[in-house]
Chain A
Amino acid sequence: RKEVEQDPGPFNVPEGATVAFNCTYSNSASQSFFWYRQDCRKEPKLLMSVYSSGNEDGRFTAQLNRASQYISLLIRDSKLSDSATYLCVVDPREGGGNKLTFGTGTQLKVEL
């Protein structure tokens, strides 16, 4: 079993739609959780950290369920510019700064 599992997609959605991505992780001792965004042939960039209380950044909402070892990302009012691969990332140590374990990524295509 992979340490971080994601549906690879692609998710094809119309502009303005709401889309949700899910991710599960196997290491129950993991401490920090993130969503990274990766554009085609570019490096990954941090989209947002994920906290147990849930957190929101504009159109993006991330949730963490430690009991189920499950992380989600919700994108509202999708834009064409949201088209990218979204990587679920887990760091087993508090505060990050150590090795990151990435999922395979979920590909999103937002269409007119």
Chain B
Amino acid sequence: DTGVSQNPRHKITKRGQNVTFRCDPISEHNRLYWYRQTLGQGPEFLTYFQNEAQLEKSRLLSDRFSAERPKGSFSTLEIQRTEQGDSAMYLCASSFPGDEQFFGPGTRLTVL
């Protein structure tokens, strides 16, 4: 399967814990995006990378959130000191510049 993959698919954690998600984009794609989707809403943009450079971050990305793409391939999204409001589906997408974004299956986070 050469699509976008995300791990883990589900994560349950207690409030205050740190969590890290991983996204492996389609291998040729140099752009990688993170979105968050809550129930009944469309995805909301969080941040994106071109190769290893993080080019834009949303105001939604508080200082508890950090994303990296160290070698321009896979990316990680870390949430520190999780809060119940962080419960959501975290979606990763990849693309060529100016081209269709392909989404991964998402990581569903539940903060208890």
Contact = CB atoms under 8 A, between A and B. Distances in A.
> What is the predominant secondary structure among interface residues of chain B facing chain A?
loop
Interface stretch (A12-20, A57-65, A70-78, A93-101): A93-101
B91 to A, nearest CB: 6
Nearest to B105: A43
Interface residues of A, number: 21
18 contacts: A42-B105, A43-B91, A43-B105, A46-B101, A87-B42, A94-B98, A95-B98, A96-B101, A97-B31, A98-B48, A99-B33, A99-B45, A100-B33, A100-B35, A101-B45, A102-B44, A103-B42, A105-B41
Given A98-B48, A104-B41, 17 more contacts: A4-B42, A43-B104, A43-B106, A45-B103, A87-B42, A87-B43, A95-B99, A96-B95, A96-B100, A96-B101, A97-B96, A99-B33, A99-B58, A100-B43, A102-B42, A104-B42, A105-B42
